[in-house]
Amino acid sequence: MDASAEWSDVLDDTPEQLDEHEVDRLGRYVLCRRLADGGMGTVYLAKAEGPGGFERAFAIKRIHPHLARRKDLVEMFLDEARLSARIHHPNVCATVDFGEADGTWYLAMEYLLGESLASLVREVTQRPDLLATERWRGLVARVVADAAEGLHAAHELTDEQGSPLGVVHRDVSPQNLFVTYDGAVKVLDFGVARAEGRIHQTRAGALKGKVAYMAPEQVTAGASVDRRVDVFALGVCLWEALTGRRLFKRDTDVETLSCLSTLTIAPPSSVVPSIEPALDACVMGALERDPEARTATARDLAQALEAYLHARARPVTRADVAALMTERFSGRKAHKHEIVRTELAAVREERSGVVPVTPPPVAGGTASLVGPPRVGEATPSFVPMASAPASAPAPAPAPASASASARWGIAAALGVVAVLGIGLLAWSLRSPGPTAVVPEVAPPAELPRPAEAPPTEPRVEEGAVDMDLSDLPMDEPASPREQAPRRRRATTRTTPPTPPATEDARPGRVNVVTRGGWADVYLHGRLLGRTPRSVELPPGDHVLELRPFGETPGRQVRVHVEPGGVERVVEPVSH
């Protein structure tokens, strides 16, 4: 089989226009285009705006609204947000914001342009003369060494007390190793990663990840899984990139699983004879089926590859990777940049009603991190942009113009993902924005005072959110219309209402979300957990105490709970 044909399943990441029924805003982010659509959620190109004309492109990952009622899936999404926000490394794509809007949850990730390693290998396999060159071998070693350093940072992650979290990515593949057009390498998608303290626990016998890149112990019942499964997956990526061939992948998962256990793994030099023994050794050490004989850590693999690169006549740098990306993807690179400029300009036009002559360039920057900081590390915060209330009239549509056709007429390949940055720091230096809490209810003085009763123990659901716990099928199609979040209307009565014949004592739910960082949530001096947090409370008025980053004194937030109702508390926090 022709080598390039083996990579025919690598999808071309063409951006799609938003459907008319799709929401065009999530929190403070304006959604521009749909970048990717999977079983769990959708990724969008989005824009955030700030003071002084600040604007920045982001990638927004949103869980499908019809799945936001699935407790297990929401727990996985919350786990991904908490975990990815704690990893800070130049070779890991980091989450920079996290929130809830329009009845669903989303992650905001820094946005960049480039190609997956899978796309790069597919492109190079069409040039057999390049595949067998020393240049290509050096570039592959550079890319995988950088990715290995990013994974090592994740593997070494600790909690606030310095205890290892035991992070394992479990889905390392050429699709999740991303190479930007300027030569940076990023590890993507910790959505199925394993770590201590996760809310969602994988059930016994469930496979997480792509079968063709799994280590043998991942598919062995009862076998323990640790960081070495990621090393094995990197070894598969390295073997395939060097040879242009698939190692274990076959037509069906059953055949692929069989190869994982029975296939004799030959060194890559058996396919490309010019591959040096030192590079063969790097690959084969990572591909040992016995975890005890395998390269122990991703850092060890990175150092072995660095030693190979150091022995070459000249080093291989990020600039060399960028040169290859420009050489192989010059047309796509230019077109993708143009799409980004056009999309962001179109959003600007629709908001201002002014049509610029040429689309301005994208400004730099990034948002703040969400989640607990690591020990000894300051956590920046930001002032969230106020969203329009649900009752606010929709803005008048922009007049039909060349900008509208430019925005919706573009249909070209755009490979985009999220990556860590350092902007929006200016936002963190401002004072927190206005507190967004549940709507005010009637003044207590106008309501009959109930008899004193001891506080009822709240029911805390670990990491739970506002959801219907009905077990929806995994393949249920998304709702054709996004539903607006339910809001409780506040009423003012001049006289006490007539009490119902039977008092409704059903508990309600309160979802507590913080912007710009995390906070511990207390009720009556009892710790309920850390944001984002959802608790069940008895009907009535309650006072929650939020302690940003665990610090005291905290701040008090009043919330009224209706029987069976759902309330939402949103608080900006900063150090």
Residues 102-154 pLDDT 10s: 778 898 988 878 999 999 999 999 888 899 999 999 999 999 999 999 999 99
Asked if residues 403 and 360 have their Cβ atoms less than 8 Å apart, the reply is: no
Predicted confidence at residue 17, as pLDDT, reads 65
| 12 token code pair | 């071309």
Cβ count near 397 (within 10 Å): 9
User: How much of the chain exceeds pLDDT 90, in percent?
Assistant: 34
Among 91-105, 273-287, 421-435, which range has the highest average pLDDT?
273-287
- Residue 169 shares a structural domain with residue 30: yes
Domain assignment present for 468 = yes
Q: In angstroms, what CA-CA distances link 127 with 120, 136, 138, 405, 453?
A: 11, 11, 16, 37, 78
**CA 265 – CA 285 distance, rounded (Å):** 11
With a cut of 90, say whether residue 533 has pLDDT above it.
Answer: no
Mean pLDDT of 91-106: 85
Predicted confidence at residue 89, as pLDDT, reads 94
Catalytically annotated residues: 171
**CA 527 – CA 507 distance, rounded (Å):** 19
What's the total number of domains in the chain? Answer: 2
Predicted confidence at residue 64, as pLDDT, reads 83
Mean pLDDT of 418-440: 40
Domain boundary among 309, 330, 351: 330
Among 164-168, 457-461, 508-512, 514-518, the least confident range: 457-461
Domain assignment present for 436 = no
Asked if residues 118 and 7 have their Cβ atoms less than 8 Å apart, the reply is: yes
Quote the mean pLDDT of the chain. Answer: 74
Asked if residues 199 and 460 have their Cβ atoms less than 8 Å apart, the reply is: no
Q: Measuring CA to CA, which residue among 300, 302, 319, 173 is closest to residue 240?
A: 173
Domain assignment present for 110 = yes
User: Domain containing 324 — which CATH number?
Assistant: 1.10.510.10
Q: What is the pLDDT of residues 151-196, one digit of tens each?
A: 999 999 998 888 899 999 999 999 999 999 999 999 998 866 676 5
Q: What is the pTM of this model?
A: 0.61
Q: What is the pLDDT of residues 449-485, one digit of tens each?
A: 444 444 444 544 433 333 332 333 333 333 333 334 4
Mean pLDDT of 231-242: 98
- Residue 103 shares a structural domain with residue 246: yes
Predicted confidence at residue 481, as pLDDT, reads 35
Domain assignment present for 51 = yes
Confidence band (pLDDT; 50, 70, 90) for 516?
low
Q: Measuring CA to CA, which residue among 488, 489, 548, 480 is closest to residue 514?
A: 548
With a cut of 70, say whether residue 289 has pLDDT above it.
Answer: yes
**CA 444 – CA 449 distance, rounded (Å):** 8
With a cut of 70, say whether residue 382 has pLDDT above it.
Answer: no
Predicted confidence at residue 21, as pLDDT, reads 58
Domain assignment present for 355 = no
With a cut of 60, say whether residue 526 has pLDDT above it.
Answer: yes
**CA 566 – CA 571 distance, rounded (Å):** 17
| 115 token code pair | 């190609």
Domain assignment present for 368 = no
Give the chain's largest Cα–Cα span: 90
Mean pLDDT of 22-32: 82
Asked if residues 536 and 517 have their Cβ atoms less than 8 Å apart, the reply is: no
Residue type for position 108: A
**CA 268 – CA 136 distance, rounded (Å):** 14
Among 142-151, 238-247, 490-499, the least confident range: 490-499
With a cut of 70, say whether residue 381 has pLDDT above it.
Answer: no
- Residue 451 shares a structural domain with residue 320: no
Predicted confidence at residue 16, as pLDDT, reads 62
Confidence band (pLDDT; 50, 70, 90) for 497?
low
In sign, the C-alpha dihedral spanning 517, 50, 63, 156 is: negative
Q: Measuring CA to CA, which residue among 229, 239, 224, 88 is closest to residue 172?
A: 229
Q: What is the pLDDT of residues 328-379, one digit of tens each?
A: 998 888 888 888 888 777 766 665 554 443 333 433 333 333 333 333 333 3
Predicted confidence at residue 3, as pLDDT, reads 57
Q: Provide the domain limits for residue 507.
A: 444-572
Identify the residue with better confidence: 572 or 125: 125
Asked if residues 543 and 556 have their Cβ atoms less than 8 Å apart, the reply is: yes
Domain assignment present for 180 = yes
Mean pLDDT of 527-551: 87
Domain assignment present for 250 = yes
Domain boundary among 285, 308, 330: 330
Domain boundary among 330, 353, 386: 330
- Residue 158 shares a structural domain with residue 281: yes
- Residue 145 shares a structural domain with residue 274: yes
